[in-house]
Structure formats: structure tokens, C-alpha cells
Amino acid sequence: MLQKNWLLKIYVILLVFLLLFTSISLADDSIYVWSTESEPLNETQITNAKAETSATTNLNLESGGAVLIEQHSGKVLYDHNMHEQLRPASVTKVMSILLIMEAIDSGRITYTDKIPCSENAASMGGSQIWLDVKEELTVDEMLKAICVVSANDCTVAMAEYLAGSEEAFVEQMNEKAKELGMNDTTFKNCHGIDEDGHVTSAYDIALMSRELLNNHPDITKYTTIWMDSLRDGKSELVNTNKLIRNYKGATGLKTGSTSVALYNLSASATRDDLSLIAVIMKAPSTKVRFAEAQKLLDYGFNNFEYKKLSSKGEMIQEIAVNKGVEKTVKVITETDSGVLIDKGQDKNIEQTITFAENINAPIQQGEILGSITYQLNGEEVGKVNLIAENAVQKNTAFNMIEYVYSKWFSLFRI
């Protein structure tokens, strides 16, 4: 058996020197450039032109402030006094919910943790589920009450549990607002009951709504509930956001109203991969609040579409490698990518795939080897890196012996 292994190694070494001589003779002058300028697009290889904004559109809104954004990119599609500082009422709770979801997703708390109710939390007025200081609800139940019926008592109980006090929690809210670039915002409480200096803007509400939906999508399990109950069916819940029941693709998000703030709403919806967030502030009535949010969403869905450029890890091409133990390497897209375009513009999109000249081993897994560039009417509107799916070693004598021997060994094992 030992003699056979030595004979096998001698044959492998002879074969390696033969391969090396051939590859050295052929590889040095090779240059590889691939272009697909004339190649037609497939359905996933499309991109975006600059979307038209409200500069050329007037939706005649009655509300004090409003904005429509595309959820993934954050691009503003319609603006009506979007930076005016107004009272948010219970839309404040979008930030409270965001901090709760961060705590859950980071592992600090779980959905099954029991949350106590303090005298302070139980004393909250406005919308509530009348928590008792003797009872405890799970985080899951608290979120359901906050998202569906805007429970002030549950919001304060969660704030105290997470930060030790409502005041400390509000400090965290303001820190997060600063981190998100919410420059029009100052929070004074976690629930939204009117308080001097407690202000934000339609744009800032859109920013925190986007952060919540993009980074904590599980929240839609709560924000899409129309009717439910707590306490073994004794407490019925009906969503304050009527669009959940009436608007196709609605995913949330939060209502708010007081006698001073009037009627506010952050409304989100998704259709055909296009996700929109419409914010209404200081609407004169609840009817106007929902009608104008729907008007904004309709405007977005009627005029824009979201198209995927690429999916992370999508195999694009197998390309030649010089001086490698492998003669080719598969290239894949580095990231997910998608963009916003005016409806019908995808027919004008072109793509170009380009690889660097002289792709030589060694190649590291994930190394950038080229790119896909997307153009709309001659303007570059997107670019995605192409990376090596796997590493390729350089074809030194030692590597080739090791490589060929491993291939032969695998073959004989079969």
C-alpha cells in the first residue's frame, strides 16, 4: 500500500510540472475584459432615474405639515411644510417603540419578559388599557397595547423598565433622534401628551418610522393587527389606524391626536416591492388625516416603482484566472441593491459589466473583481461591486502538487 502511494505521488509531481510548464507559457500575456453593453436586461437588473418630487405636483393638502418618502432609500417624493415644528401627540410612540425593538433585537429583553406597572404608569391619562399596579404584562402584550390602541400606561411602564425612569428613557429618545438626524425634534415625554417644547416635524417622523420599519421589520406583526384582545379576552383592542383595514398593503404605523396637536398619522404601506411612508401632521379632523395620508400613498404608488438591481450573492459570471490552481472563478454581487424609478422608465435602462484587466491569482474570497454599472438615459444611476465567490491560490509547484493530489485522492475515494 505504501509503495502504491509513493508511485501515485511521483505521477502527480510529473503531471504538475507538465501543467506548470504549459500554464507559464500561456498565462503571462492574457488580458480579460468582459462587457455586456449590448446584452438585454433581465427582470432583476434594473435601476433608477431621479424621481419627480412635489415641486411639480400640488396635492392641495389641508394639514399643517406632510411628507411622503420611499422607505428603503429615504427619498422624499412629496413635501408640504415637512420641517415645520409641530406637536406629534401619540406619534411620539414611534420612537418609544423603536427603542423597545432595539432592546429586544439586541437581546437585552425578550418578548416573554414580565413588565411591572408603577403608580406613575398607572396614573397616565389619555388612551390606555388601565394597567393595575398589581399586574404584570409580557413585553409582547405591552407592544400589542402600544401599537394597537396607543396605550400611554404601557408605554411608560416599558420606559421605566428599560431605563429606570421615564426621564432617563426620554434622554435616550433624544439621543436616538440626534443620531437619526432628526433636527426638528425635542422629546419631553415618551407618550405624546401635550407638553411645552415637545415638538417634531413630518420629516423627522418619517425618519424614525423608516428606521423602525427597515431595521426592525418584526414590528409589523403588531402594527398590522386590526382587532385583538388582552387579559384572556377581557380587554378588546381595535386599531386606531383605520388604514390597516381599508388600504391595500398597509403595514402600519401610528396615529396621534390631542386638542392642541390636532390629528397626526404616520402611515406605511408596501405594494410590489415599493414601500412608502406618508406622514400627516395637524390635520383639522380625523377624516382629513386618513384621507390625506391615502392621497399621499396613492400618489406614490401611481407614479413610482421600486426595482431590484441585484440580490446579494447572485452569480453573474465565471471568469478566467491567470496563474491560478483553478482556471476560473465565479463572481457574485456584493450586496442587495434596489432603486426608485418613475413608472415605465425601466425600459430605458442599460447595464455594463466590467472586469479588471489581468485577473491573476492569488484571489481572496470576497475580493472585488469588477462591477455592474446601471444607466438610465445615459446617466449612471447605480453601481454594484462584483466579488470572488471563493479564493483561488497561485499555481506554485507546491500548491499545484497539493491541489492535484487532493483532487486525485477525492476521485479515488469515490
Decide if 2-48+309-413 and 63-283 have a common fold. Answer: no
Q: CA 95, CA 179: separation in Å to the nearest integer?
A: 12
Please list the active-site residues. 90, 93, 150
Residue 43 in this model has a pLDDT that exceeds 60: no
DSSP state letters, 73-85 = T--EEEEESTT--
**Mean of pLDDT values over 324-334:** 92
Please, which residues have CB within 8 angstroms of residue 226's CB and are 6 or more apart in sequence?
Answer: 238, 239, 244, 245
CATH code, residues 2-48+309-413? 2.60.410.10
Specify the pLDDT at position 40.
32
Specify the pLDDT at position 194.
96
310: three-class secondary structure by DSSP = strand
**Mean of pLDDT values over 348-356:** 89
Residue 41 in this model has a pLDDT that exceeds 60: no
CB atoms within 10 A of CB 176: 18
Specify the pLDDT at position 44.
32
Specify the pLDDT at position 12.
52
**Mean of pLDDT values over 23-52:** 31
Is 203 buried (19+), middle (13-18) or exposed (0-12) by CB count in 10 A? buried
Residue 45 in this model has a pLDDT that exceeds 90: no
* Structural domain spans, the chain: 2-48+309-413, 63-283
CATH of 63-283, picked from 1.10.3720.10, 2.60.40.10, 3.40.710.10, 3.40.720.10, is 3.40.710.10
Winning range, highest mean pLDDT, from 52-61, 313-322, 392-401: 313-322
Residue 196 in this model has a pLDDT that exceeds 80: yes
Q: pLDDT by residue (tens digit) across 251-277?
A: 999 999 999 999 999 999 999 999 999
Percent of the chain residues topping a pLDDT of 70: 82
Q: CA 70, CA 76: separation in Å to the nearest integer?
A: 7
349 beta partners? 376
Residue 133 in this model has a pLDDT that exceeds 90: yes
Q: CA 182, CA 195: separation in Å to the nearest integer?
A: 19
